[in-house]
A and B are shown apart, each in its own frame.
Chain A
């Protein structure tokens, strides 16, 4: 937003009258802002409506994002939910146990199995999911008829807006014991199969669901990168004798490279979070052995087993490692000259 020369309120107007620089030459000096000359009190008076506008959102964020951080102290407690109906009162009355919860975690094979599942699912999604939106974007980008483009984009975006409950229900109708696939197999004299409850193939099922739901949505950012390529580059390449494949290799792909690198880095930062809702919904069908990830481990132990201190300890470990990963990923994104999650 350009620097405004119009005073924002009486306060600023009065001040501008007094200071000739601000009144006369603010635009001429480019960076010389009138607000810089104002005292804090006057700036507050001038911006109080703006501050008031941000207040509800800030309060919500403080209450639901910052206050619960303090609640992580239950990780160091033998938290007793039955002391009181009120969680805060229970925290105050629960005994401190130091690092006992963490010690228990490290000796728990279920915890390590959850860690392993989380990492396996993350790597599988990275290898099998990540390239698909790029290929789809290249495909869509090569479609020149605007109608075909718009219609297929609308179809590809659609599943992103479905809930996980719906996506999993759809998969059940296709690949479940009573699904279309089993139905077809049985009609041709084979045994029906139920992919939805098979722990051995669960990780591929999860990846397939993610691809079905979000790969189409993932093309948006690549399409934007492709749209920003200067068409003269293609013409120049063609003049130099590059055929369509050479043009793709030397013009299109370099345009995508920064976006690919950035998304890759950010995804690594998010490594410990793999489809919580998606997996939780299928946990019962497949069994925790194959489906338990860190998030569902926390849910199971905390919400279901009421072992709050233990679950909070697992959540805290995950949170701290995730924070580290995100910070590192963001740093790497900056080093690559990208914006990352925030600007430096």
Chain B
């Protein structure tokens, strides 16, 4: 890179642009404005709907009625919809189910995937090419919905939470990303641990995993989001309404416009706005993801790129 000579030395603010190479033209005002508008538009297209959902969920029935439906400007924040939803009943139960499925499922998926990825990360180990082929081949075909459905049913998993975890527990892509990262760890480090008498499990736990925090965070997020967002398996394999996770309850409440069980009366008598309740459920569904993903964001690129090195 060219050194910048003509810029006076100064400590740049965190929002300031880094110094520009001498050969590069100054951006024109129109160009900057155009870029700003385009980027703002893209970001607003994402944030504006979320804003409406959030504000409406926090609005009182009066505010919602006055605005003729969805609320754009917050006026008199109230948590009444959340209090109702979280005071026991259908949505509370569904939220607990979703949280538990996500925690247990993610832990299970991560354990299995990390073990498998590490087991395959040693070049020249017995059979690792064959095992890799078996895993990779599944990226090319899928057995189909009907045979999978019949299998899960035959295994007796119907109406159990195992049906929401086991069939989709591992993603071969995630294993490949992990493996790509593990193979990049310096062999000397692993050798020295081995000389010190560490077994494979110990090497994985004390050497490899601490060095792979970034990619582990990314893959954990991927799995967790997968479990949190899943609704199809529940709709296929669960018949009991009381067992349904949050996403499936959200389908009933928001898409089919049903009132949550036990709350219909409060809505009918006007204590509660059905719209605010719907929006509050949506906020509950998006909140964990929206809070967690920005923290992992800086690792995304690395994680996705190691995934590209395969074979």
Q: Are A280 and B166 in contact (CB under 8 A)?
A: no
Number of A-B contacts (CB under 8 A): 327
Q: Are B310 and A165 in contact (CB under 8 A)?
A: no
Q: Are B146 and A156 in contact (CB under 8 A)?
A: no
The interface residues of chain A lying within 8 Å CB-to-CB of B167 are 64
Q: Are B301 and A161 in contact (CB under 8 A)?
A: no
Mark each residue of chain B from 126 to 144: 1 if its CB lies under 8 Å from any CB of chain A, else 0.
Answer: 1110010011101111111
Q: Are B146 and A64 in contact (CB under 8 A)?
A: no
Q: Are B151 and A67 in contact (CB under 8 A)?
A: yes
The interface residues of chain A lying within 8 Å CB-to-CB of B221 are 161
Please give me the residue from chain A that is nearest to B283 by CB atom. A166
Mark each residue of chain A from 27 to 49: 1 if its CB lies under 8 Å from any CB of chain B, else 0.
Answer: 00000010110001001101101
Please give me the residue from chain B that is nearest to A162 by CB atom. B286
Q: Are A162 and B150 in contact (CB under 8 A)?
A: no
The answer for the CA separation of A231 and B23 in the assembled complex, in Å, is 12
The answer for the CA separation of A330 and B119 in the assembled complex, in Å, is 27
Task: With A159-B46, A162-B229, A281-B251 as known contacts, state yes or no: A46 contacts B126, CB within 8 Å.
Answer: yes
Task: With A54-B120, A165-B250, A326-B140 as known contacts, state yes or no: A43 contacts B311, CB within 8 Å.
Answer: no
Stretch at the interface among A14-22, A105-113, A237-245: A237-245
The answer for the CA separation of A157 and B295 in the assembled complex, in Å, is 12
Contact among B126, B185, B282, B310 with A170 in the assembled complex (CB-CB below 8 Å): B282
The interface residues of chain A lying within 8 Å CB-to-CB of B25 are 243-244
The answer for the CA separation of A36 and B123 in the assembled complex, in Å, is 12
For residue A182, give the distance in angstroms from its CB to the closest CB of chain B.
8
A97 contacts partner chain B, Cβ-Cβ < 8 Å: no
State the main secondary structure of chain A at its contact with B: helix
Q: Are A43 and B151 in contact (CB under 8 A)?
A: no
Q: Are B304 and A295 in contact (CB under 8 A)?
A: no
The interface residues of chain A lying within 8 Å CB-to-CB of B188 are 2
Q: Are B145 and A295 in contact (CB under 8 A)?
A: yes
Q: Are A49 and B68 in contact (CB under 8 A)?
A: no
The interface residues of chain A lying within 8 Å CB-to-CB of B69 are 178-180, 183
The interface residues of chain B lying within 8 Å CB-to-CB of A343 are 310-311
The interface residues of chain B lying within 8 Å CB-to-CB of A201 are none
The interface residues of chain A lying within 8 Å CB-to-CB of B225 are 161
The interface residues of chain A lying within 8 Å CB-to-CB of B311 are 339, 342-344
B35 contacts partner chain A, Cβ-Cβ < 8 Å: yes
Contact among B70, B118, B138, B286 with A166 in the assembled complex (CB-CB below 8 Å): B286
For residue B183, give the distance in angstroms from its CB to the closest CB of chain A.
5
The interface residues of chain B lying within 8 Å CB-to-CB of A67 are 143, 151
Contact among B46, B141, B150, B278 with A322 in the assembled complex (CB-CB below 8 Å): B141
Contact among A1, A89, A164, A165 with B123 in the assembled complex (CB-CB below 8 Å): A1
Instruction: Given A169-B250, A173-B49, output 5 extra A-B contacts at Cβ < 8 Å.
Output: A50-B120, A66-B143, A180-B69, A319-B141, A339-B310
- Chain A residues near B (Cβ < 8 Å): 1-6, 8, 33, 35-36, 40, 43-44, 46-47, 49-54, 56-58, 60-72, 74, 85-91, 136, 139-140, 142-148, 150, 152-159, 161-166, 168-174, 178-180, 183, 186-187, 212, 216, 220-221, 223-224, 227, 231, 234-235, 238-239, 243-244, 277, 280-281, 285, 295, 298-299, 302-303, 308, 311-312, 315-316, 318-319, 322-323, 326-327, 330, 339, 341-344
Contacts A/B (CB < 8 Å), 30 sampled = A3-B124, A6-B191, A53-B118, A56-B112, A57-B170, A58-B116, A64-B166, A67-B143, A69-B143, A69-B147, A71-B151, A88-B154, A144-B17, A148-B15, A156-B46, A158-B293, A161-B289, A165-B231, A165-B254, A170-B49, A183-B68, A216-B46, A220-B301, A227-B301, A295-B145, A299-B145, A302-B149, A311-B145, A312-B144, A342-B310
